[in-house]
Amino acid sequence: MSLLFEVPADYPSGFTYFPNFIAEEEERLLLNAVREIELHQMQFQGYTALRKVRSFGYDYNFNTRKITKGSPIPSVFDKLTEKVALHMQLPVISLAEMLITEYPPGSVINWHRDAPPFDQIAGVSLLSDVTFKLRPHEKSKQGRKSIVSFPVKRRSLYIIQGEARTEWQHSTAPVSATRFSITFRSLQNPR
């Protein structure tokens, strides 16, 4: 497994980045699969975001802050799930949730740490690049200078584990062209 870090030296421990994680042909097949799936506008605490989403495996409810079992991850994503699990050094069964997100031009995901029921996170980017940002979660440590910002390229994989997961938040800058991400999450308490 080749490990190529193309992120700044001050990126937090637990953040790993693999450019060219998938080949162009794999990206084309994944885009075909993703475009077959009906996505819905993301609703968050009474606010409708520009991005569209669909989760599989588990669904997280932002009101109850609980997860419930969802529809199974479609088998067309098996190969990708296995490859992501291998890079996360986790058994494939532990990738319990898969979230597909479509970001139309101008859309973002704001600063957040992923919901507590989830543990480790991995994101595969399709169709276009994005500027990915990380900053400390603790308010007293936040400031312009604490933001680590770098490009996450289409066909890449990033993994968020350890300190990057527990002590840091992440967000993305507005995209200039439509981007899809496929996010995998393991559970804090596997069922």
Ligand X SMILES: O=C(O)CCC(=O)C(=O)O
Residues that bind ligand X (CB under 6 A): 99, 101, 109, 114, 123, 170, 172, 181, 183
Which of 64/140 has CB closer to ligand X? 64
Torsion of CA 121, 26, 49, 45, to 10 degrees: -30
| All residues at 6 or more sequence positions from 22 whose CB lies less than 8 Å from its CB, including other chains | 30, 80, 83, 124, 155, 157
Which of 120/183 has CB closer to ligand X? 183
CB of 25 to ligand X, least distance (A): 22
CB of 181 to ligand X, least distance (A): 4
- Cβ atoms of 84 and 184 within 8 Å: the answer is yes
Which of 90/127 has CB closer to ligand X? 127
CB of 103 to ligand X, least distance (A): 7
CB of 56 to ligand X, least distance (A): 13
- Cβ atoms of 31 and 45 within 8 Å: the answer is no
- Cβ atoms of 11 and 148 within 8 Å: the answer is yes
Which of 85/130 has CB closer to ligand X? 130
Which of 5/62 has CB closer to ligand X? 62
Cα separation, 10 vs 13, whole angstroms? 9
Position of minimal CB gap to ligand X: 181
Q: Which residue has the tokens 């996360």?
A: 88
Q: Tokens at residue 106, please?
A: 């101008």
| All residues at 6 or more sequence positions from 25 whose CB lies less than 8 Å from its CB, including other chains | none
CB of 124 to ligand X, least distance (A): 8
